[in-house]
Amino acid sequence: MPHRWLSSSQPRTLVTEAESSFQAPTLMHRRMPTTSKMEFVPANAHDGIPMYSILNKDGTIADGAEDPKLEKDLLLRMYTTMVQMNVIDHIMYESQRQGRISFYMTHYGEEGVLIGSAAALDDKDLVYVQYREYGVLLWRGFSVNQTMQQCYATMYDYGKGRQMPIHYGSTQHHFVTVSSTLATQMPQAVGTAYAYKMSQKKQCVACYFGDGAASEGDAHAAFNFAGTLRVPIIFICRNNGYAISTPTHEQYSCDGVAAHGPSYGLTTIRVDGQDIFAMYNAMQEARRFVMEEQKPILIEAMTYRIGHHSTSDDSTAYRSVDEVRTWDEQGHPITRLRHYLMDHGYWTEQQDKEIKAAFKKEVLQTIKDVEKVPKPPVSYLFTDVYKDMPPHLEGQMKYMLGHIKQYKDQYPVDLFAKEQS
């Protein structure tokens, strides 16, 4: 007969199943049915999770779906923000190729995931990201000037020039600074959500990550903590088909990242990430749910990374040009929404040309201005490590500054702001 140890403050007593107050076997907080038949559950026992979609590739509403009928101003803001991000990407990618900045990552094809989800959040909800979520920050009002100050590591960069390009962070925009290491932000996001729950804060946490990050241990720790602690967090997985050069079929054999959700106690949905309406609706409902229920949600956004992983990558080595062209020409999130807007008389080809030209002019002028801004003082390498700089660090700083002064002809000192006396 099965036995269990009954915990109490008294010495442990052996209790049989018949003597227990439990009427059925339990696994933690869940009751399980019993069976006398031995049966292994096959890996493909369940049908795949369907993908929620509203907008067809040609911008029409799918059969059986309802037009969300969003306000015109919101629709135009969504569209122009996606276009603006696309223009910035094109120019900044070329800037890196020209040697003006050291690194860059584009968002081609994933604009719908970012803008659709950002539009449904409260601007005070705290956002943790991976590194391809600039659109969320742009939606919240992060300016082109602030963007260039960061990418060019100037003295006016919020991060004081200490981060590599596209590693944005802004407290006023409730956007936690990017960390290159995959999935490290995920347990941190759960911790913040738990603090929000304990303090009854009227905000939630949104945590973005990619399909590659979902293979990291930190991702599964975060899912488990979120499920067991029941916290108000929305996980958004950008499943763009590749973890750098590794396609998804080599990353997992299950039904995608969404398949992990229910097993960790996460309410889950799979969404067409190329469909900005589906992303907006799903995110809006997800936020309502996590705030009212104080429980986590996982959204797997199915999208495609049209660009290279980064400026350090050449994706032609592991995927065909035809594959990329197909995704770019068929169902691109910007194209879908543009068709919808034009079909409803909200947008014209002329307006499209004008807005793209205006964004291009703004970005190029901003780069021209920012390139004249000095880098932070060299001493910033040592500040902000401690509230008050300890003697050993101060000694190192003085030694380095003295060295640079002595050999100033060997260093590009003119690029840096002068040290404050």
Q: Which two tokens stand for residue 347?
A: 């947008």
Task: Say whether pLDDT at 25 is over 90.
Answer: no
Is 173 a catalytic site residue?
Answer: no
- Segment 352-396, tens digit of pLDDT: 999 999 999 999 999 999 999 999 999 999 999 999 999 999 999
Secondary structure of residue 394 in the 3-state scheme? helix
Percentage of residues in the chain with pLDDT exceeding 90?
89
Is 354 a catalytic site residue?
Answer: no
Strand locations in 130-266, DSSP E? 205-210, 233-239, 242-243, 246-247
d(C-alpha 247, C-alpha 175), whole Å: 29
Torsion of CA 123, 126, 128, 133, to 10 degrees: 0
Q: Which of 20, 102, 143, 180 is catalytic?
A: 180
Task: Say whether pLDDT at 109 is over 80.
Answer: yes
Task: Provide the CB-side half-sphere exposure for 304 (13 A, CA).
Answer: 16
Task: Provide the CB-side half-sphere exposure for 252 (13 A, CA).
Answer: 18
pLDDT of residue 13: 42
d(C-alpha 146, C-alpha 157), whole Å: 7
d(C-alpha 358, C-alpha 83), whole Å: 11
φ and ψ at 60, to 5 degrees? -90, 160
- What's the whole-number average pLDDT of the chain? 93
Q: What counts of helices (H) and strands (E) characterise the chain?
A: 12, 12
- Segment 187-228, tens digit of pLDDT: 999 999 999 999 999 999 999 999 999 999 999 999 999 999
Q: Which of 94, 323, 329, 419 is catalytic?
A: 94
Query: For the chain, what are the domain ranges?
Result: 53-370, 381-415
Look at the domain 53-370 and name its fold. Answer: Rossmann fold (3.40.50)
Q: Which of 310, 339, 362, 379 is catalytic?
A: 310
Q: Are 204 and 232 in contact (CB under 8 A)?
A: yes
Task: Say whether pLDDT at 1 is over 60.
Answer: no
Q: Are 251 and 243 in contact (CB under 8 A)?
A: yes
pLDDT of residue 26: 53
pLDDT of residue 30: 61
Residue with tokens 């040592």: 382
